[in-house]
Amino acid sequence: MSNLGDEKELEKLLNIKLDKLEKLDILEDDPVMSQDPVPDNDLFKDIPPGKEGFEILSQSPAVNRFEEFLLKTIDETNDMPNGPPFARSITQIAVTERTEVYKNGIQHQYDTSLKKVRDIFLRITSKNPVHNDEIIKVVDDFMSIFIKDKCILLNLVNCKCDPQYELYHHGLHVCLLCINIAAACGYSKEQVLEIGEAGLLADIGMLHIPNDMLKKKVKLKTNELFDIQKHPIIGITLLERVQGIPMSVPLASYQHHERLSGVGYTKNRKAHLIHAYARIVAIADVYHALCCTRAHRRGLLPHEAINRIIKMANFKLLDATIIKSFIKYVSLFPIGSFVNLSDGRVAKTVQSYEDHMNRPLVSILTDFNGTPLPANKIFQVDLSRNYNLKIVGAVDFKGSDEHLMDGF
């Protein structure tokens, strides 16, 4: 039975009226990502910097092709859920079924996939052959985990990013979030795969943005912002090199900075001309960026990031309907969040319930005095059944990957 209280609470959050956009306190372009040197920087050597270069790129043949495809796709509603929903395949294993060997295997797959993503990105930008099947394999491997253990997959998004490989971590985490969001929205397996691919590749154009600009600790100047805004166009140019890639993948990458109100880029498209896949990638991209620590700001806790994207939906920057589906899937305190309970103990959310967005399954990590419990003493409490306890807030309990699998 649906919990009407949770449903009303979510509707209330998605309808909060704020007076000014500035109250969001969000930097729309927050691109500080360390990255590898690019082998063929001459690809865009004749494009002038700043606004002039951005305008030249935005009128390129590649952009015109994608604009034509977009209009055709939107007219045919090919971006809507079509076919058996992938979510019907999902079964969630219990915490007690996860052995240490199993959890180590999940972590190993993440590490292996990260290396594959770096290799794919660098081969694309250096003009070495890449077939779409290689990219599909990365996404499909995680979808195979998702159908039996979506909670542990969401937990991987909490991996701390190695500063040297931040761009690749970001692509992989956005991919994992896109799989979850697309499944929550009712898309088929084939569509979820494409949306996951789009999330993985969305920021590949960042490889051609100068590193010194990405690492700035001060607000970027207008012309520098235009240089950052080139990356979706650079991205689709790079993705044309991938053999067999579906058109919807680079299209979603190209549009993932468009905003429903028309204030995004590259073309300031409004809601009806923004592909649904791009709307999903946009939410995953913003959510993960907010959770990441940058040189000029701390990363938000997952609960804080959820609140921020809700506010962005209220300003029609992100799609409220998609966010609602996402939150119902992951709860208001997403999987892997550390939370304070009403009895003073610290817990971690390890499983969410669509009908109880404020009452997930949690693992108790401390005693009543805040002392961490040894691993063999950690136990679970189902807040959807235990109404004597509730979450009273999020907390930054531990910041190391060493504790990523605690409670799982």
Note the pLDDT tens digit of each residue in 1-17: 345 556 666 666 666 65
How many distinct structural domains can be found in the chain? 2
Distances (CA, A) of 110 to 14, 107, 159: 33, 5, 9
What range defines the domain where residue 343 resides?
A: 338-403
Query: What is the maximum span of the chain, computed from C-alpha positions, in angstroms?
Result: 66
Q: What is the pTM of this model?
A: 0.92
Residues 213/35, Cβ–Cβ less than 8 Å: no
Both 385 and 281 in one domain: the answer is no
Look at residues 272, 304, 330 and tell me which one is the last residue of a structural domain: 330
Query: Is 10 inside any structural domain?
Result: no
Least confident of 50-59, 204-213, 244-253, 292-301: 292-301
Least confident of 6-20, 79-93, 115-129: 6-20
Distance CA 227, CA 181 (A): 30
Amino acid at 295: A
Both 222 and 319 in one domain: the answer is yes
Sheet containing strand 391-394, strands side by side: 379-382, 361-364, 346-351, 338-341, 391-394
25, pLDDT greater than 80: no
Both 38 and 82 in one domain: the answer is yes
More confident residue, 261 or 297: 261
Q: Give the domain CATH number at 266.
A: 1.10.3210.10
pLDDT at 294: 72
The stretch 126-153 carries a mean pLDDT of 95
pLDDT at 299: 83
Residues 294/220, Cβ–Cβ less than 8 Å: no
Least confident of 123-132, 220-229, 354-363: 220-229
> Would you tell me how many other CB atoms lie within 10 Å of the CB of residue 404?
20
pLDDT at 165: 86
Both 108 and 190 in one domain: the answer is yes
Look at residues 330, 355, 381 and tell me which one is the last residue of a structural domain: 330
Distance CA 37, CA 90 (A): 40
Distances (CA, A) of 197 to 103, 110, 125: 24, 16, 17
Both 207 and 224 in one domain: the answer is yes
Both 169 and 276 in one domain: the answer is yes
Both 305 and 191 in one domain: the answer is yes
pLDDT at 72: 75
Highest mean pLDDT among 90-94, 188-192, 204-208 belongs to 188-192
Count, residues in the chain? 408
110, pLDDT greater than 80: yes
pLDDT at 152: 94
23, pLDDT greater than 50: no
Could you give the angle at the alpha carbon of 124 between the alpha carbons of 127 and 228, nearest 5°? 110
Query: Is 12 inside any structural domain?
Result: no
Residues 197/136, Cβ–Cβ less than 8 Å: yes
Look at residues 330, 364, 392 and tell me which one is the last residue of a structural domain: 330
List Cβ neighbours of 46 (8 Å cut-off, separation of 6 or more).
none
Both 322 and 257 in one domain: the answer is yes
pLDDT digits (tens, 9 = 90+) for 342-351: 999 999 999 9
Both 102 and 149 in one domain: the answer is yes
26, pLDDT greater than 60: no
Percent over 70 (pLDDT), the chain: 87
